Structure 1
Amino acid sequence: MYPGTVAVGTEIILQSGWEDATIYYTTDGTTPTTASTEYTGPITLTEDVTIKAIAVSAETSEVFTYDYAVIKTEDLQISDIQGERHFSKYAGVTVNDIEGVVTYVDGSNFYIQDITPDDNPATSEGIVVYSRNHGLAPGDLVSLDGTVTEYFGDGYSEKFETDLPVTELTDVTVTKIGTAPVPEALVLGEDIIPPYEIIDNDNLTEFEPAEDGIDFWESLEGMLVAVPNPQIIGPQKYGELWVVSDLYPEKNFHKQEGLLISENDYNPEKVKINIDDEDYIAKAGDYLDGTVTGPVSYGYSNYQILATSESLPELIDGGVTPEETWIVPEEDELTIASYNVENFSADPSHTSDAKAQRVAESFVNDLNSPDIITLVEVQDNDGPIRSGTSAADESYERIIAEIVAAGGPEYEFVNIDPEYNQDGGQPGGNIRVGFLYNPERVTLNDTGAVGDFDDANYWTEDGDLALNPGRIAPDEAPNTRKAIAAEFTFQGEEIVVIGAHLNSKGGDEPLFGDNQPPYLGSEEERIRLAQSINDFIEAGLAADPDLNVVVAGDINDFEFSEPLEVLAGDILVNKVEDVPLEDRFSYFYQGNSQVLDHILVTDNLAEQTDIDMVHINAMFMEEHGRASDHDPLLIQIDFEEEVIPGEQHAEPDFSGEQAVVVTGEFDEEGNLNIHFSEDVVTELLVSGKNLFVDTPTAELTLTAEQIAQIAEAAGGEFTLEIGVGSEETVDNRPAIADQIDFGLLGAEGDELALTFGSAATITFDTKSNVKIQFGSFLADNGKWKIFQGEQGDGTFTISVNKLGTYTVVSNKGQLKK
C-alpha cells in the first residue's frame, strides 16, 4: 500500500526484497534500530501514523518512511473531518450522515456544529456548508451527505499560493431531522486564550493551538466564538473591525489604544470581526458594550469572526482624539516634517477639497508650519487619469494655496517630474517625493542645475550637491520611486534633505498564510535601495565630514528590519528609535500598529535633534478627520552644539581686525580644551589675522605667523589647552591674578613644545591700585621666575615666546598698602 490517505483498518505489508532480511520498524516517529519492533505480519492502521523501517541482513538498509492519513468510513463526526491540521485529510472524500445544528447563516453558506463534541480542544466541532436555497435557520438539526472541500474564499489575486483554505462541505444533500439548542459560544479570554506572541514556530509541521496562533484559530474554524466587550484597535476599513477581547489577561495598548508590533511579536491574539459594512464608523480606542458572537472563518489572509453590523452591541466612544505636536517652534531651530499624503493631486475628483483642506490644516495646526516638508505620494496634476503627462506643478500649488488659506506661510516647492508611469504607484498617477520649504526661513541653495528624471545626483569637491535638486541613483530604482536630494541653508547652516519612498511591501507573504515563516519577497529591493542612499551619503561625508544630512520619508519597513539597518549603516541615526515605544507607530495594517515612516540624521545631528510622531491619521477614519493613511513625523534641529564643560570647538569671529574666540565653560577642575579644526585653521591662515583668545582670566594673542608655525607643527588641526588656578601666593609672593596655563596638542594628540619666532602676548586683569607688578612663569624645574611686563589701567601684559603657566605677582606688603 502506497503512502497517503487510507481507510481505517487498512493493513500495511512491509517487504525488503532482500533474502533472509529482518525488518524493524517504529510508529512513533523515531529512527528504527535492531532494538525496535520486528516486523512479523501486516500492520493494521487505526489512526494517522508514520512508519519508519529498516531491513537488516548482511548489511543494514537506509531508513524508509511511510506517512499514512487514516480516515474513518463510518460514525464520522465534524471533528474527524477537521482534525488536528490545516488541510483536512478528507479533502475530496464523499462523506455521509454528518450531523450538526445550524449556528449561523450567511447567504448560501451555513455553519453547523456538532451537538456531541469530542473532548479534544485541538479539533474544531464546526464546519461551513455550501448549499443554495437551503432555507435553514439557526437551531435546525441536519444530517448531511456531501464532499469535503478545501475552499479558498475571499482574498487577493495570489490567494491560491499564499492563503489557507477553509474546510467546507459542498455538493450536499441536506436532511432536516429536527431542532436543537445552538451550542454555547466559546468565550475568548475565558474559555479559550490565544497565544500572545507566536504565530508559528515549526513551519506548520506541528499542530499546537496552545503555542502557535495560527493553529489556535484553525482549531476553532467553523465554531461559534464570543468576544466580550471587544476593544477596537484600529479604524474600520473594508467592513472589518480589528479587536481584542476585554477579558484578555494581557492588553499592551499604545497611547492611542492599538497594538504595536515588535521583531518577534505580530499579535496573534487580535482577531478581525467581518461585519461587511464599510459605512460603520469606528476608530481605535472605541469598544462595543456587549458580546459579539459568530463563527470563525478565514478571508483576505486572516482568520475572522463573522457578524453583521446590525447585530453589534452599542459602540462606545473611547475618547481617542487626533493630537498636535509637542514641538514648539523656535526662531533659531530648524523643523522638518515627513508626510505621506496618499495620492495627493490637483484634481478634486480624485483628491477631494475636504482632504486637501485637512492636509493643509494639519501642516499649520498639528505640525506648526514646518520649515521644510518632505511630501510623499504627490501625484501629477490630473491624478490617476492616464493623460501621458507627469507634471505636478498644479498639485504642489494646490496644497500651498490651501496652507495659506489655513493661516500658514506661502511655501515654495521642489520637484522632479518622473518618467511617465515608471515610478510605480497608481497607474497614471506618477507619484513622487518632493519638498515644500518656507522661503522666509530657508533658502534652496544655488549649487547646481535641477536634475532631470534620469540624472544621477553627485557631490562636488566641497561637499555640495551637483544637482539641486537631483535624484539618487535613478537607474538602480526601476519601476519604483526614486529618492530625491535637495540642499538648503538655514541661518548659515547648510543641510541636505533626502526624500525617500522605497518600494512597498507588496509581494510579501501574509502573517497567517500557508507558508511559514512568510517569505518577504519585497525586502530584497528595499535593501538595495537603502544601500544606494547610504552609499550616496557616505560619498558626501567623504567630501565634507561635517555634512548635515536628513533622510525622511516612507521607507515601507519597520525600525527593526534589515532595510533600515542598511540605510542607517554606521553614518545615520534613526530618530524613530528615540520615540517612546507607546508612541512609536505611523501606520495601521490588518490589526497591527507599525512604523513605516522614518527620519534619519547624520551622526553629527543626532544629539541635537528631537522627533515627534504626530498621530492624526492612522488610528482614525475620514469621519474623524483622517486625511491620509499615514501619520506625519516632525523633527527639530538645534544647530547649537551641546555645551560640554571643558570642551569647545573653535568658531572664530572674523568680523573685526582680529579673529576672536571667546572661551566657553571650564570643567570643575578649571580646564578647557579648544579644538581648532583643519577648516578653521585654514580660514585663520587665509585671513592673515591675529588670533585673540578671550578667557575670564587673561587674553592670549597669537600672531598669524605663530598660527602658521603651530599649524605646521601640529599637522593641520590643533587643540589649545587652557588651565586656570587660583593660588593666593606664588613662590611666597602675593598673586594678583589667577594662574593660567596654555598648552598645545597636535592633530594626533601629541604635546607641542614650540618656541615662537616672535612674541605672543598675554594680558591679565589685575588690580590698578597695586603699583608693583611682575610677570611670573613656572619654569621646567618647577620654580617660578619673575620678569617685567607692561602695566596698564587694571591690566598687566606680558610678552612670551612659548606657552606655559603664567601669572602676575607683586612684592610682599604691596597688597596691604
Structure 2
Amino acid sequence: MPTARPLRRTATVGSLIAAALAAGLLAVPQSASAAEIRIHDIQGSTRVSPLAGQQVTDVPGVVTAVRAFGSARGFWFQDPKADSDPATSEAIFVFTGKDTPALAVGDAVTVSGAVSEYYPGGESAGLQSVTQLSKASWTVHSSGNALPAAFALRPSSIPDRYAPSAGDGSIEGLRLKPNSYALDRYESLEGMRVSVKDAPVVAATNEHKELWITAETHRDRTARGGSLYSSYRAPGVGRVKVASLIPFTQRPFPVANVGDSLTGTTAGPLDYDNFGGYTLQATELGTLADRGLTRETTRKQKSDELAVATYNVENLSPKTPQAKFDRLAAALVNNLASPDIVALEEVQDDDGTTDKGVVDAGQTLKKLTDAIAAAGGPAYRWQQINPANGQDGGQPGGNIRTAFLYNPARVSFTEIPGGDATTPVTVTREGGKAKLSASPGRIDPANEAWKNSRKPLVGEFSFRGNPVFVVANHFNSKGGDQGLDSRFQPPARTSEVQRVAQSKAVNTFVKQLLAADKRANVIVAGDLNDYQFSPALKALTSGGALTDLVDRLPRKERYGYVFQGNSQVLDHILTSRHVRSVDYDIVHINAEFADQASDHDPQVLRWKP
C-alpha cells in the first residue's frame, strides 16, 4: 500500500518545457501587467503553463480555500471572470511553504509571484504537474466576496474515455480536450472549485483521512458498490480522491466503507498529488450515509470436497500486534470456513524487519496457528522453505515468503526432503504419476525472473487418496510502473516484464507436471500482483495449462483489492484441466473496509475430486 510522505513543492521546469521554450514553441512574455495577465493566461490550454519560469504581477482573483497545515501550505484563488475556453483553468494554487497565509476565504486579492510547475514525487516519477505561484506577495482589496460557482462533476460532465494517447510519450504538450478525455477534464479544472453531489464511496477511508468517490453513479460498478477495473481501457473515469481542508476538531473526517456515500454536496478546489492523483480538497463535506456493507462468509466445504484458499496476510511477523493474528485467525475459521489448505503470502521471518540474518518463520507461523486453534479452528500444520537472507524482496529484513497451512485431519502432506532456498524442484514420473523431487520445493529459484522476488513454493498433498499439487505464489509488485494518471500515455508498466517471466516459469513447471501425468491435479494460487486481462496472466495460462477461475465469476464480482478507487484483481486461483466443476469464491472481508486485517481479500475454491 502507498505510504505517507511529506508533500514537497519545488519550482522546477521539466525538460520538455525547457526544450519547448528553447525552440520558441511556447510564447512567453518577458513582462506582463495586471491588465494583460489573468489566471487562465497562466494556466494555458495544455498541462504546462506558457509562463513557466516567469514573474507575473497583480493577478486578480478570489480566495476559495486555504491550506493551513503541513509543509505545503498556501491558498487557492480563482478568477470569477472566466474566459470562453473550457481548456483553461480559472484557478491556481499559491505555495507558501511552512507559512500559513493570513487570508480568508472570500478575500478578493491580486497576487504577484513566480510561475512554476510542481511535479509531485519529483519529475522522474512520471506524474502530471501542478501549475502554481511561489515566492508570492498579495494585496487584499475586499473580504466576504461570493465564491465562483463550483463545477459539478457528474456523469454528463466526465467523458467516457480516460486519457489521450501520445504513443507512450508525454501528453503535456497536447491541447486539453475536456469534452473528450476525463484526465483532460480534471486538468482543465486544476485548482478550481468542483463539487460532487451524493457521491458514492469507491475506496474506504485510509489512515491518512482520505477516501475515494466517483462521479459515475452507474457505469462499471461492482456488485457491492465499488468502481470496477475491468480492462486497461476502463480505469474508472469518475474516480476522485477526497481529502479535507476542514480542521478535524470542527468536522471529523468520515470513516467510510465502499458502498457508502457522502450525501449532499462535497466541494472544494481540485488538487493533484502523488498519493492518488486528482484530489478534491473539501471545504464542504457531505454527510456520511452508511450503507451497511458487511463482511462476507463463504460456505463450508462438504466432507468430500477439498477446500484450497489463498490469503495475503500483509507483512505478518511475531512483532505484529496480537489483535491482527486474532483477526486473521477468526477470518480463516469463520469467514473462510477453515479451508483444508491455505497458501499464505507475506509471511515474514521471526524478527520481522529487524535485519540480523534471521530467516526462519517458525515463530510467525506458530503464532498464527495458535490463534486459529484459539478461534475454534483446526490444528493446522505448516510447510515452508526459508529464503536466502535478503533475496526475496519485500520490506528490508522481513524475508517475506509463501507458506502452506494444512489441516492434517482432512489432508496429508507428502513430505519429500531436499527442498531448500536454491535447489530447484523437478518433476519425475513414477507408476504413471507425476512426482516431485522435493516437497515442499521451490520452482526454478535461480531463474533471473525471481530476482528480489518471492520464489514459488510447490507441495504435494493427498485428499481422500487423490494427489494434489499446490503452488503458492507471490509475484513481484507493480512498484516503478507509471500511474494511470501519468503524463505519459499510455503509461509504462515496466514491472510487468518480470511478472511475465515469472508466469512463464510457473507455466513451464505446470506443463512438466502435466507431461508426466496429463490428469495431474494442479492448483496455482496466490498474489500474482496482476490483472486477469494482463500479459502475465496470459503467459501463465498459455497453452491451456491452467484456467484462471476469476474469469468464471460474474463480471461485477471480479475483484479482491482496491487501489485508488479501482476494485481490481491481484490474487488468483488457477487450476489444471483435470480439476473441473469447482466452486470458487472471493471472500470480501478486507479491501472494501476502512478497518482491515490485510489489504487483500482471501479467496477459496472447493472441488470434489
Structures share fold, TM-score greater than 0.5:
yes
Q: Tell me which residue corresponds to 2:581.
A: 608
The 8 Å contact of residues 290 and 314 in structure 1, kept in 2 or not, is answered as yes
CA distance 1:249–1:454, shift in 2 (3 Å): closer
Q: Deviations over 1:169-218 (max 9, x none)?
A: 1122211222432111112228x711234223345234211111211110
- Letter matched to residue 48 of structure 2: F
Q: Tell me which residue corresponds to 1:357.
A: 326
Q: Tell me which residue corresponds to 1:26.
A: none
Question: Cα distance, 1:608 vs. partner?
Answer: 2.2
SS at match of 1:542: helix
The 8 Å contact of residues 428 and 437 in structure 2, kept in 1 or not, is answered as yes
Please state if 1:367 is matched with 2:336.
yes
Q: Deviations over 1:487-516 (max 9, x none)?
A: 011111111000000000001011111211
Q: Deviations over 1:351-387 (max 9, x none)?
A: 1111111111111111111111101111111211223
Q: Distance in 2 between matches of 1:435 and 1:133?
A: 54
Residues 568-577 or 552-561, more deviating:
568-577
Question: Cα distance, 1:478 vs. partner?
Answer: 1.6
Question: Cα distance, 1:251 vs. partner?
Answer: 4.0
The 8 Å contact of residues 5 and 70 in structure 1, kept in 2 or not, is answered as no
Match of 2:443 among 439, 455, 472: 472
Please state if 1:575 is matched with 2:549.
yes
Q: Deviations over 1:254-289 (max 9, x none)?
A: 122101112210012110012377975211111122
The 8 Å contact of residues 76 and 191 in structure 2, kept in 1 or not, is answered as yes
TM-score by length of 2: 0.89
- Letter matched to residue 489 of structure 2: Q
The 8 Å contact of residues 444 and 488 in structure 1, kept in 2 or not, is answered as yes
The 8 Å contact of residues 575 and 600 in structure 1, kept in 2 or not, is answered as yes
**Structure 1 vs Structure 2 CA RMSD:** 2.2
Q: Tell me which residue corresponds to 2:281.
A: 306
Q: Distance in 2 between matches of 1:110 and 1:88?
A: 19
- Letter matched to residue 546 of structure 2: L
Q: Deviations over 1:147-171 (max 9, x none)?
A: 1111234x4xx55431212111112
Q: Tell me which residue corresponds to 1:130.
A: 95
> How do 1:345-744 and structure 2 match up within 5 A?
345-347=317-319, 351-446=320-415, 448-462=416-430, 463-476=434-447, 477-570=450-543, 571-605=545-579, 607-622=580-595, 626-639=596-609
Q: Distance in 2 between matches of 1:275 and 1:177?
A: 27
Q: Tell me which residue corresponds to 2:301.
A: 329
Q: Distance in 2 between matches of 1:224 and 1:399?
A: 49
Task: Provide structure 2 residue ranges, at least 5 long, that are not aligned to the other structure.
Answer: 1-15
Q: Distance in 2 between matches of 1:134 and 1:372?
A: 59
- Letter matched to residue 393 of structure 2: G
Question: Cα distance, 1:68 vs. partner?
Answer: 4.8
Please state if 1:213 is matched with 2:186.
no
Q: Distance in 2 between matches of 1:569 and 1:251?
A: 32
The 8 Å contact of residues 124 and 221 in structure 1, kept in 2 or not, is answered as yes
Aligned residues: 563
The 8 Å contact of residues 382 and 429 in structure 1, kept in 2 or not, is answered as yes
Residues 267-276 or 86-95, more deviating:
267-276
- Letter matched to residue 598 of structure 1: H
> How do 1:183-202 and structure 2 match up within 5 A?
183-189=148-154, 193-202=157-166
Q: Tell me which residue corresponds to 2:12.
A: none
Q: Deviations over 1:211-266 (max 9, x none)?
A: 11211110000100111122111211122110023xx4644421221011122100
- Letter matched to residue 152 of structure 1: Y
- Letter matched to residue 199 of structure 1: A
Q: Tell me which residue corresponds to 2:10.
A: none
Q: Tell me which residue corresponds to 1:111.
A: 76
CA distance 1:279–1:105, shift in 2 (3 Å): closer
CA distance 1:115–1:206, shift in 2 (3 Å): closer
Higher relative contact order (CA 8 A, sep 6+): 2
- Letter matched to residue 471 of structure 1: R
Q: Distance in 1 between matches of 2:404 and 2:351?
A: 19
Q: Deviations over 1:84-131 (max 9, x none)?
A: 110111001111221101111112311111121112221111011124
The 8 Å contact of residues 5 and 69 in structure 1, kept in 2 or not, is answered as no
The 8 Å contact of residues 197 and 266 in structure 1, kept in 2 or not, is answered as no
Q: Distance in 2 between matches of 1:127 and 1:186?
A: 15
Match of 2:194 among 204, 210, 225: 225
Q: Distance in 2 between matches of 1:404 and 1:529?
A: 35
Task: Provide structure 1 residue ranges, at least 5 long, that are not aligned to the other structure.
Answer: 7-47, 50-64, 640-817
Q: Distance in 1 between matches of 2:217 and 2:479?
A: 34
Q: Distance in 2 between matches of 1:522 and 1:298?
A: 24
SS at match of 1:460: strand
Match of 2:55 among 89, 94, 102: 94
TM-score by length of 1: 0.67
Question: Cα distance, 1:314 vs. partner?
Answer: 2.6
Matched residues, percent identical? 39
Q: Distance in 1 between matches of 2:161 and 2:401?
A: 37
